[in-house]
Structure 1
Amino acid sequence: MKILLLVLPTLCQAALPGTAGSVPTHRFVPQFGVHPPGINGGPPQTSEAEAYLNNFGYITKKDGPEPPTAFDFQMGLLRFQMYHGLYRSGLYDVETEEKMSLHRCENPDMDNGAALRDVKPKGLWKKKVLTWSIQGNPANMDAKEAHAAVAEAFQTWEGVADFRFVQQQDQLGGQSDILVAFEPLRNKQHPTVISRSGGPAPSKITLDSTQRWGHKFLVPGDLPLLRVVTHSIGHSLGLQHTPELDSLMNPLFKSYQLFSKLEHIPTEDNVSLRKLYVPDVPEASVAPEIPVTEGPAGPVDEGLSIPVTSQTHGDDRNCPQHVDSVTSVSDSVWYFFRGYNVWQVKNQQFVGEPVRIKELFPGGPDFVNATVTSNGLTVLFADRNLYGYEYDAGRFVKAQGFPRELHERVLFFPQAAFPLTNGSVVLLSGNVFATYDVVANQPHILNDKNRMFPNLPEDVRSGIPIHNQDFTKYHMFDETTVSQWDSITHESTSAQPLNEFFKCASQSATTSKTRRF
C-alpha cells in the first residue's frame, strides 16, 4: 500500500486512460497530498481541487491529526466523479475541472465520504406556517425585481408538505423564521460558492450580493436568482443535496439557460420533503424494503441513509435507461446498477422498484464502479475495494474473506469487468486491462485493451455471457446501449439502446393482463 501512495502523484500525470478511454485531457494537474509550506509560517497550502473535495465532504477524514494523503484525495476525486455522473477516471481531467468550476451552494454534498443523513426529527420545523423576510439587495439588480424572485420562490414551495409562508416587513427580519440576506459571502469554502443556507428552525439564507443575478430577463452570464433561492429554501426546510440532475437540490448552478422558469417543485423533492414531515407518505413513493440475510461477518450494517435516486437524467425509476454495471447470477436473473440503486432483472425485464445497493448486499458499498459474477461468486468493485457475495435462495450472503483491497500491482481503478472461462475475470479502465483472480486476489496479465480485446464498446461497463458458462459470446454494455461481442472472432454487433433491450416493469404489468399461460 505504501508503494501505491508513493506513485499516485506521478500517476496523475501518466498516460493512463482519461475520459471515455482517451488519453487524459486535463490541462492542470494538482499535486494531491503535496503541500508547500504556508506563507510566514501559516498553514500548508492546498490546491482549490483539494479544498473542494475536502470542504464538500468527498474526503474520508482520519481520526488523528494526519492530513489527507494523495490516496485519500484520489478516492475523493472518484466519489466526486461518481456523484456528478462523470466518467470515473480517477484523474483531474477537463470534465472534472469544468464541473468543479460551476457556481454552487456551500452546503456539503457528502459526509466524510458517505451519503448524507436525513435531518433528525428534533431538528425539523414544529409548525407549518413560517415567516420570511429579506435584508439587503444584490449589487447589480433592481431591488423590486430581486424581492419578486424571492417571493416567487416561497410561493413555489407553498403547499408542499402542507407548509405556508408569510412575509414579514424588513424591520422585523431578525424575528422571522427564514431570513434571506443579500450580502458579500465571507470566508467561503470555495471560490465557486454563491449561497449558503442554515437551519432549519430558524434559518438564514445568504446570497452573495456581489454576483451577477438575474430573474425575468436573463442574459448569458446571469445566475438564476429564482433557482438559487428555491434551492436554498429546500435546505431551510430540511432537505439535503442530491446528485439527481432533475432535483432542485442538486448542489450546482448553471447560468441563464437552466431553470430560468420554475413552475412547480420536482416530484423527487416533493416526495423527499413529505417523507420528512408527513408520516403517511404512500409506499409507492419510497423504495421498498428488501430483507437481507446475515453474512459470516455478522448482522447487516445498515450504514448511512442513502438517497434512492436513479441518477439517470430523468429516467423512470422503474425503467432506467443508463447503467453503471450489470451482472448475472443465472441465465435469467441479472442485477442492474445505477447510482446508489440496484434493480433485479428477470428475462430482460425489470422487476419492481430499485433498492439501495447496501440493502441488497450486506455490508456493501454505497455505489459500484464495476461488478462481475464468476464461479458462483459475485464481486462488487467500489474504488479499490472488492466486496464478495454468494447468491443463495434469492439472497446475497457476504463471502468469506471479503471485503478486501485490490492488489497493488493494479494501479488503475476498475470501471468495467466480465468473466472468463478459467474462473478469472477481466478488469478494464479506459484502454488498459488486467486479468484477475478474485479468489486469490491476484492479477495475471496487464496490457492494452484494444490489443487483447478489440471491438469492445469504447466506454464498456459490463460483460455478461449470453449463455451461462459459455464464454464465447457476451452481452457488452456501455452506459446507454448493449451489443453482442464474440471473444473468438472479436466481432461485435451493432449497439441496441437499453430501453429496447430491457422491458420496463410497467410495460410487463400491462402485458400480463392479456397474456395467456
Structure 2
Amino acid sequence: MRAGILYLLLAVMTLCSGTDPATEEAVHTAKVFLEKYGYLKEEKDYSTSQLAAALRDFQWSSNLPVSGELNEATVLQMHLPRCGMKDVSQTNWLLGSPHYTNKRKKRYTMKNKWYKRHLTYQIVNWPWYLSQHQVRKAVKVAFQLWGNVSSLTFSEAVSDSADIRLAFFDGEHNDGARHAFDGPGGALAHAFFPRRGEAHFDNAEHWSLNGKGRNLFVVLAHEIGHTLGLQHSPFKTALMSPYYKKLGKDYVLNFDDILAIQNLYGAPSSGKPVQLPGKEFATFQDWSEESNGDAVGERKRNYCQSMFDAITWDLKHTLYIFKGRYYWTISSHGNVSEPQLTQQRWKKLPSFIEAATVSGSDGKFYFFKGGKCWRYKGSNLEAGFPLKCSDNGLPRHPDTALYFQPLGHLVVFKGEKYYVINAESLMVEPYYPRSLQDWKGVPRSTNAVLTHPNGSVYFFKGETYWRFDQDNLRVTASGKWVQDLSWLGCHTS
C-alpha cells in the first residue's frame, strides 16, 4: 500500500510520460484502482484521453476538482479506506461520458431487489475485537435504520436459511483476488446485491463501536444498503457514499439514501420516515441490562473475549485494564475485580478513553482521548485539566501511551511515529516525534502498551502481543496474550 502511494505521488505532474519507470508503475497502480472500482474496463489498453476521462469521472464522484490529472488530491483519495464495491456499473458508465451526466438512475436497479418486504439476516461469524452482544446490537440497529425509512422489516434468523448473511474474513475468501481483503485500511468490506444478499468484512481491521478504530456500525449500515439493492451515491454526506461517512449531528441517511431505498420498496406504512442524527449511534455499550446478569464469569472476563482500549500498572503493582465505559483491576495475587465504571472513580473523565498510563515516579494517572489529556493524583483531577494537549504537539487520537522508565518521560505512540512527552509540562521533547523503527519489531497502530514489573515492555494489538526487550531494544517474543500471559487474569476460574 505505501509503495503504491509513493509511485502515484511521483506521477503527480506527469500523467503518462511513458519514460520514467516509477511513473509507469504509478499509472499502472492508478489503472488497477480505476478498473477495480468500475471506471475502466479490465484488461484493455487505454489512450491518454480515455484514462483522463476515467480520472474525471472518479474525481467527480469523489467530490474533487475535476481535472483528469493524477494529482496529489486524487492519489490520496484513492488510498482512503472505502467500500470494496464498484462505484459505478460498467454496463451503464461509458468511457468518455461527461462527468456531469445525471447518474441518479445508477443508484439502484429494479432487477436487483427483493420481492418481499420482510427479510431475515444471519451473523455467520464474529470479529475478534468486539463482543457478540455489541455486534448483534449494531447489526440490528443498522438494519432498522433502513426499515425506518422504507416498507421493509427485518429479523435475525433462527436457522441457516437467512436472506442476508454477514461474515468476517481474512485475505482472499473465494470472492476472487480483486476482492481479497488487504488488512487495515484499503477496502474494508464489500457486498452482493439481491438475491445473493451477502456482506463481507475485513476481519483484520481494527473494528470499534466507541470511536477508536473503524466504526463497524457505519460500515454495516452501508453494506446492508448494497444487500438491499443500492449502489454508491455521488453525495459526500450520503451513507451510501463509497467513502464511509463519519457520525455526527446530521442524519445518518441523507435525502439521496432515502429516495433510493423508497424507489425500490416504497415508504414505511406510516408514511413518515424516522430519522435520527448520527450521534445517537456513536457508541454501543459493552453490554446492556438485557444481557445475562447472572453470567458473572462472562462479564468479569469480558476484556478477554475482545480487544481492550488501554492497560497500565500502578506503583502497587495493581493492573488496570480499560475497555469501553469500564475498567478492571487485577491484584498482585491475580485476583480479578468485577467491571467498574471508569467515570465513577475518575470524575470528569470521558467514556471510551484511547490511551492511559501511570507515572513510574509519582504514581499519577494520565488519560488521553482526541486532542485532550487528563492527569489525576489518585482519583482527583489536577487543576488545569483536561488540557488540550494537541496544542503542545501531541498527536490527536493517540494509539497508546507508556511511562518509559529509562527516559523518565511519557511516550505516546501514533501510527508510524512516537513522541516523548515531559510528564510535568506535557510538552513534546526536542527532536521528536521519531520513527517507530527505533522500536525494532513493534507494529504500527497498537491498541495498548505497558511496562511489566520484570522490565519488559508489552505491546498489544488485537489478540496478539509483542514483548520488547529494553536492553536489546528490540522485540524478542510474541504470541496470543489470552493463552500466553496468565497475569492478565484470563485463566482464572
TM-score, L = length of structure 1: 0.43
More relative contact order in 1 or in 2 (CA 8 Å, sep 6+)? 1
TM-score (normalizing by structure 2): 0.44
